[in-house]
Structure 1
Amino acid sequence: MRAIRMGATLLLAASAALAGAAGVAVADGTSPSPSASDGDSAGPTEAGTSFRTAQLFQSGTHATADASSGDYLYWRVPVDTGQRPTVDAKVTFPDTSARKGPTTWQVDVYDGLRRRQPCVYGAQTRTLAPDQDSVELHCTLRTVRAWAEPWSNDPLPGDYYIRLTAVAAGQGDLGLPMSADVSVDAPSKGGAFAVGGKLAAPLVPGAALSDSSDGSSDDNSDGSSDDSSDDASDASPSPSAESETQASDEPDGGWSSGWWTDRWLWTGGGAVGAALAGVGGYHVTRPRRRPTPPPGY
């Protein structure tokens, strides 16, 4: 009975410690992606026409744009390690649309290296019938990894580019006014997808430029300044725009700011189980003392 009571006490104490650590980690770690109902769902009201002009917005918000059928619309959204992004896009035509035939729409997602990422599920291509006013597209990507082999096509943390366009439309249906609504939901999938490696920097515009400019120096070892370096610095563009782009590309809570994963629970649970097994085994296998007979027996 004493062993059972001791084991129960140890189990309760370990559970309380793990629960407290989990609460602190959740409070200090990466905050969850904001939902569209949090009140801060306003995103950009226009779209870019290429990768370089893609409009930035955060996951949990909506990006809208008014354009014409046949245009290429681009947005970008930062996605961090351990998140699985789902892209939802909706194309709406006004009631007075003069469409004459079916139109096929498609949403494509590219990572920071501009590699097209496949959708694990969801209808990323749909055809809009002439009598329909809107069509919805969905694309769920694989979970973003912290590190991957150079030859692989695994999704890595950084900016993800969203392209929405009509891939098949009649000549008479091009140029008609339409509106687009795009949103991204990127929930965290936990420590089951964690890996040992980590990228030196997320795949965002200006990250490499900012890192290389931090430790650069134009002074020679003797303290004199090189004229050629001055000319190069005059000709180079100001890094302020790139720095602002990199800062604004961070997701809510920063890049991989949370050290907590559910692997800590499995590790702590295993340690508690091993301790309880050791205590129980000792009490079961220890030799029993014989009672000492009274004097004169």
Structure 2
Amino acid sequence: MRSVRKLAVVALAGAALFGGASPALADTPKPSPSASKSDAAPTEAGTAFRTAVAVRQGQQATASASSGDYLYWMFPADAGQRPTVNARITLPEAASRHGASTWRIDVYDGLRRRQPCMYGMQSRSAAQDTGTIELSCTLRPTVAWADTWSTDPLPGTYYIRLTAVSLPETDRGLPFKAEVEPVMADTGGAHAVDGRLATPLGAKSAVAPEDGWASGWWTDRWLWTAAGGLLAALAGIGGYTLTRGRGRPSGVPRGA
């Protein structure tokens, strides 16, 4: 019975170890890799997909433009990451404006498909006297592979588009400033799939993640698989120990 108790203690300890590790891997945001000191943050934006300016994960890009312009940036997102795009807009002087305006950010994948925001305020109206507004868009977790008909986010380049979707005609052309920052959270193996892309979408167009493209080769499902194998082995040993004593008592001759 002592051996059984020891096995039970080991099994419970293993379950607690792996069970406690999973939430940390799945729920704790991973610090976004920042650009090195030699990589200055962008101070401009493109005006179309083809001229989008590359920004690294965790890097804050800035730009000055005219109200009514379309601003474009691009950033990389790898498998297992959940991108969030934050934007801050410093509006023109209130005295020069003639009414309210509405601003919006949209995020597109490497195939230029607009991805829905699961969380955040991607569109917001500003009164004439409002000085700044903040927008955000959190996408679905990026998966390593998906069917061709699916719109699931895939590893590769993502595009940010920022513009005023509504403003008085007389306010077009007024100067404003924008700040955007793409940040990543690691979702762990909760959204892992079997399979991966041969090449991330549009990977040649933008900067790669600081650690390179993982493309889903590692997930914390490996830990769960190892934990399951360990617990199964312990259960087998425990079962054998419990049933071994139910046979013929030792020292009793056959036929007795």
Give your verdict on TM over 0.5.
yes
Q: Kindly indicate whether the alpha-carbon contact (under 8 Å) linking 2:62 and 2:180 is maintained by their aligned counterparts in 1.
A: yes
In the alignment, which residue of structure 2 is the partner of 1:3?
4
Aligned length: 240
Runs ≥4 residues deviating over 2 A: 2-12, 38-42, 93-97, 257-260, 287-293
Q: 1:285 to 1:252 in 2, by over 3 A?
A: same
| Alignment map for 1:169-248 (pairs within 5 Å) | 169-204=167-202, 206=204, 245=205
In the alignment, which residue of structure 1 is the partner of 2:213?
255
Alignment partners' CA distance in 1, 2:251 and 2:112: 82
In the alignment, which residue of structure 2 is the partner of 1:137?
135
2:109 to 88, 108, 111: 111
In the alignment, which residue of structure 2 is the partner of 1:69?
67
Alignment partners' CA distance in 2, 1:6 and 1:166: 65
Alignment partners' CA distance in 2, 1:201 and 1:92: 38
Shift of 1:192: 1.4
Unaligned runs of 5+ in 1: 207-244
In the alignment, which residue of structure 1 is the partner of 2:50?
52
Alignment partners' CA distance in 2, 1:273 and 1:127: 55
In the alignment, which residue of structure 2 is the partner of 1:277?
235
Shift of 1:124: 0.7
Alignment partners' CA distance in 2, 1:6 and 1:198: 39
Alignment partners' CA distance in 2, 1:292 and 1:148: 64
Unaligned runs of 5+ in 2: none
Alignment partners' CA distance in 2, 1:34 and 1:250: 11
Shift of 1:43: 1.6
Higher helix share: 1
Report the secondary structure of 2:102's partner residue.
strand
Identity fraction in percent: 54
TM-score by length of 1: 0.73
Alignment partners' CA distance in 1, 2:161 and 2:47: 9
In the alignment, which residue of structure 2 is the partner of 1:210?
none
Alignment partners' CA distance in 2, 1:253 and 1:174: 42
After superposition, what is the alpha-carbon deviation per residue over 1:39-96, rounded to whole angstroms, capped at 9, x for unaligned?
7895200000000110001111101001111110000001111111011111102546
Q: Which has the higher contact order (CA 8 A, sep 6+)?
A: 2
TM-score by length of 2: 0.83
2:224 to 266, 269, 287: 266
Report the secondary structure of 2:76's partner residue.
strand
Q: Kindly indicate whether the alpha-carbon contact (under 8 Å) linking 2:79 and 2:216 is maintained by their aligned counterparts in 1.
A: no
Report the secondary structure of 1:77's partner residue.
strand
Q: Kindly indicate whether the alpha-carbon contact (under 8 Å) linking 1:105 and 1:126 is maintained by their aligned counterparts in 2.
A: yes
Alignment partners' CA distance in 2, 1:291 and 1:115: 74
* Alignment RMSD: 2.9
In the alignment, which residue of structure 2 is the partner of 1:34?
33
Shift of 1:259: 3.9
In the alignment, which residue of structure 2 is the partner of 1:128?
126
Higher strand share: 2
Shift of 1:173: 1.1
Alignment partners' CA distance in 2, 1:56 and 1:35: 14
